[in-house]
Amino acid sequence: MLMRIKFLLIAILSSASLAAISQEEEIKNQKKNGKPEYRWSASFSLGIVPVPQNPLSLQPGIEYYFTPHVSFFNEISIQTGKHNNADSTALNKKYFKYKAELRYYLAEGIRTRPFFALQFITAKRSFDRAKAGKFYETEEKDSVFSFNKASIRSPYQALSINFGVTKSLAEKFYLECSFGYGFRFVNTRYSNIENLQKQKETGWFNVRPFSSYKYNGRRTSSQVNFNMRIFYCF
What's this model's pTM, rounded to 2 decimal places?
Answer: 0.80
Name the residue type at position 31: K
Dihedral over Cα of 23, 24, 25, 27: its sign:
positive
pLDDT at 160: 97
Amino acid letter for position 143:
S
pLDDT below 50 — which residues of the chain?
Answer: 1-2, 4-13, 15-24, 26-27, 30
SS3 sequence, 108-145? CCCCEEEEEEEEEEEEEEEEEECCCEEEEECCCCCEEE
What pLDDT does 18 receive?
A: 43
Please give the pLDDT value at position 125: 95
Residue 61: predicted pLDDT: 97
The pLDDT of residue 139: 62
Class of domain 34-233: mainly beta
List C-alpha distances in Å: 16 to 8, 9, 48, 170. Answer: 12, 11, 45, 18
CA distance 124 to 59: 15
Q: Identify the CA nearest to 211 among candidates 191, 178, 184.
A: 184
**C-alpha dist (Å) from residue 203 to 144, 167, 200, 206:** 14, 51, 10, 7
Q: Do 151 and 100 contact (CB within 8 A), yes or no?
A: no
In the 8-state DSSP scheme, what is residue 209? P
Strand partners of residue 176: 166, 229
Helix (H) or strand (E) holding 43, with range, is strand 40-48
Per-residue H/E/C for 150-163: EEEECCEEEEEEEE
**Which residue in 218, 217, 145, 176 sits closest to 71, CA to CA?**
176
pLDDT at 8: 42
How many Å apart are CA 229 and CA 182, to the nearest integer? 20
